[in-house]
Chains A and B, each alone.
Chain A
Amino acid sequence: MVNLFSRAAFLLLLTVCAATAQDAASIPGPNSWAAHGAAPLKSVETIEIAAAPERVWAVASDFGGYDWLPGVARVESSGGHTPEIDRRKLIMRDGGIVEETLIRWDDEKKTLAFHRDRDNVKRLPAINYMSHVTVKPTTDGRSLVEWKGRFYRGHPFNDPPAGLDDETALKAVTALHRANLSALKARVESGESGESGTTVR
């Protein structure tokens, strides 16, 4: 009836407003996160690295030094490791830019977390993406590194279109975590071989 039509029109208006609001808010500060859906997703990947946790943490803790990430040409950063303050800009080889804010940095627990500030679903079909990287010791003195993320699918409302659904987001972020871990492993293990005589068991 009339009611139904007006409700449909109202909903459409709301959707348009929400989309517009999201566009307007697409340049958030380090503390402002974009609109997202109601069901966060989780991806946890690990890798073993043949180096002591201290050596791995020396690389992983350097928030402004992640030039070893796949696809990254260089990194510009504010230099420090103060959560909610320090930021970095990954200048990608394809010309793109990924900006991230440090959320957590814990030397004692060998863990840090960072949030991707501007969502770009063309680069990564996930939004409001936060990573945690943690270095843990194995029983034989090597390291187990965990890269885990909390994020939402690319579409911030119900009924996502293809390519912006949960499955796509989960697959992309999981692949990214695996690639990042492999790059970290290569970086640490090659760095170690360059320093003669250091045997890590």
Chain B
Amino acid sequence: MTLWRLSAIAFAVLAMASPLAYAGQAFVTTQGADALDIVDLSTLSVAATLPIGGKPAGVAVSRDGARAFVASPEGQFVTVVDARARRIERRIPVAGGPLGVAASPDGGRVYVADLYGGRLFEIDPASGTTLRRVGVGAAPSGVTATPDGKTILVADRDDNAISVVDAVRFERVGTIAVGRHPFGIVVDAAGVRAYTANVESDNVSVIDIAARRVVATLKTGSRPYAVALAAGRIFVANQHADSVSVFDEKNLASLGEIPVGEYPEGISATPDGEKVLVACWFSNELWAIDPQRLRTLGKTATGDGPRAFGLFVAPGDLPAPSGARVPD
């Protein structure tokens, strides 16, 4: 009954959107299927599936939405995907267990964390070469770059801390103690605060990046995995609660929990903040949430074992393919 109602709402919302409007696309790593599902967000359906291999988990979309970088920890490589053509461009070998991945704001660099080796790699996606490497903490997981591109933050899961890496010098310049087993990490649009989902302590650490300290801790549902920011709110995927916890970004007050599919993991917002997408590993679904009304908009079936760990949503204002023009 509720599901039917949700579907009806989702249908109504989708029907209102112009079929020509480009609402962006989500790049969902389906680790069990060894693939990447590219989900068209205007229809909330899988538009293409690319075989990736190597058990892909981490993913990062460049800020202009032109490329997606997919990390395969078992295959030990990063796959560069042409987001517009929905085609694999190249495969870059990366040592160790490449899991967490982030793109620099200009898209010219890709940062990949080696889960097993405790290192962060700086990769030039154009040439496919590893430029620099720096030692970080134990079991580095989530990676993110500040909007000015000057700082990289790495969630060192087994150290219960964040590594602060100077992106210019590519040196580890500090650490910040957070909750237990930080996994996903995200930075706000202003580059002022970062948020880690702490899997074992069931909370989120709110970090003042400049001061390099935790300024608040937010109690979440069971086993928070990753964080997304949209519409002035903080969204946290709770693996064991099958839900997304929501908080106000300003006053950090709890705004409740939204039920989603089973075992939600990767969570990411569209760059315009219109939608929050969450990959549900057990039920093989991608759910869409309205961050204003705090309601689910619908879902689509994905391949087996969606992880989508990282910033996996490309913006809607994607440049048109050469020779064509996307109507407004």
Query: A78 near B: Cβ within 8 Å?
Result: no
Query: A35 near B: Cβ within 8 Å?
Result: yes
| Interface pair B305/A40, CB less than 8 Å apart | yes
> Please, which residues of chain B bring their CB within 8 A of the CB of A104?
222, 240
Beta-carbon nearest neighbor of B119 in chain A: A14
Q: Please give me the 4 A-B residue pairs with the lowest Cβ-Cβ distance, nearest first.
A: A38-B73, A39-B55, A38-B99, A157-B116
| Interface pair A42/B282, CB less than 8 Å apart | yes
Among A31, A33, A38, point to the contact of B74 (Cβ < 8 A).
A38
Query: B97 near A: Cβ within 8 Å?
Result: yes
CA distance A84 to B116 in the complex (A): 28
Among A38, A41, A84, point to the contact of B57 (Cβ < 8 A).
A38
| Interface pair B117/A11, CB less than 8 Å apart | yes
| Interface pair A158/B117, CB less than 8 Å apart | no
Query: Provided the pairs A14-B117, A18-B116, A38-B99 are in contact, do residues A158 and B73 lie with their beta carbons within 8 angstroms?
Result: yes
- Chain B interface size band reads 20 to 34
CA distance A67 to B243 in the complex (A): 32
Query: B128 near A: Cβ within 8 Å?
Result: no
Query: A150 near B: Cβ within 8 Å?
Result: yes
CA distance A103 to B73 in the complex (A): 28
| Interface pair B200/A33, CB less than 8 Å apart | yes
Q: In the complex, how many angstroms separate the beta carbon of A152 from the nearest chain B beta carbon? A: 11
Query: B276 near A: Cβ within 8 Å?
Result: no
Query: B31 near A: Cβ within 8 Å?
Result: yes
Query: Provided the pairs A35-B158, A103-B240, A150-B282 are in contact, do residues A42 and B74 lie with their beta carbons within 8 angstroms?
Result: no
| Interface pair A84/B282, CB less than 8 Å apart | no
> Please, which residues of chain B bring their CB within 8 A of the CB of A35?
139, 158
Among A38, A42, A132, point to the contact of B97 (Cβ < 8 A).
A38
CA distance A104 to B239 in the complex (A): 11
| Interface pair A103/B222, CB less than 8 Å apart | yes
CA distance A157 to B115 in the complex (A): 9
> Please, which residues of chain A bring their CB within 8 A of the CB of B281?
40, 42, 150
| Interface pair B158/A40, CB less than 8 Å apart | no
Query: A138 near B: Cβ within 8 Å?
Result: no
Query: A178 near B: Cβ within 8 Å?
Result: no
Query: B40 near A: Cβ within 8 Å?
Result: no
Q: In the complex, how many angstroms separate the beta carbon of A46 from the nearest chain B beta carbon? A: 14
Q: In the complex, how many angstroms separate the beta carbon of A164 from the nearest chain B beta carbon? A: 14
Task: Give the B-binding residues of A (Cβ under 8 A).
Answer: 11, 14, 18, 21, 31-33, 35, 37-42, 83-84, 103-104, 113, 132, 148, 150, 157-158
Task: Give the A-binding residues of B (Cβ under 8 A).
Answer: 31-32, 55, 57, 73-74, 76, 96-97, 99, 115-118, 138-139, 158, 180, 200, 222, 240, 263, 281-282, 304-305
Query: Provided the pairs A31-B200, A84-B222, A113-B240 are in contact, do residues A39 and B116 lie with their beta carbons within 8 angstroms?
Result: no
Given A40-B305, A83-B240; 13 other pairs, CB 8 A cutoff = A14-B117, A14-B118, A21-B138, A31-B200, A33-B200, A35-B158, A38-B73, A39-B74, A42-B305, A103-B222, A104-B222, A158-B73, A158-B74
CA distance A71 to B53 in the complex (A): 38
Q: In the complex, how many angstroms separate the beta carbon of B308 from the nearest chain A beta carbon? A: 14
Q: In the complex, how many angstroms separate the beta carbon of B58 from the nearest chain A beta carbon? A: 9
CA distance A31 to B222 in the complex (A): 11
| Interface pair A148/B282, CB less than 8 Å apart | yes
Q: In the complex, how many angstroms separate the beta carbon of B298 from the nearest chain A beta carbon? A: 21
CA distance A11 to B119 in the complex (A): 11
| Interface pair B76/A158, CB less than 8 Å apart | yes
> Please, which residues of chain A bring their CB within 8 A of the CB of B99?
38
Output the residue of A32, A38, A40 with the most chain B CB within 10 A: A38
CA distance A165 to B31 in the complex (A): 16
| Interface pair B117/A39, CB less than 8 Å apart | no
| Interface pair A157/B97, CB less than 8 Å apart | yes
CA distance A33 to B99 in the complex (A): 19
Beta-carbon nearest neighbor of B239 in chain A: A150
| Interface pair B304/A42, CB less than 8 Å apart | yes
Beta-carbon nearest neighbor of A115 in chain B: B240
> Please, which residues of chain B bring their CB within 8 A of the CB of A42?
32, 281-282, 304-305
CA distance A158 to B115 in the complex (A): 11
Q: In the complex, how many angstroms separate the beta carbon of A135 from the nearest chain B beta carbon? A: 16
> Please, which residues of chain A bring their CB within 8 A of the CB of B118?
14
CA distance A38 to B180 in the complex (A): 18
Beta-carbon nearest neighbor of B305 in chain A: A42
| Interface pair A38/B115, CB less than 8 Å apart | yes
Q: In the complex, how many angstroms separate the beta carbon of A149 from the nearest chain B beta carbon? A: 10
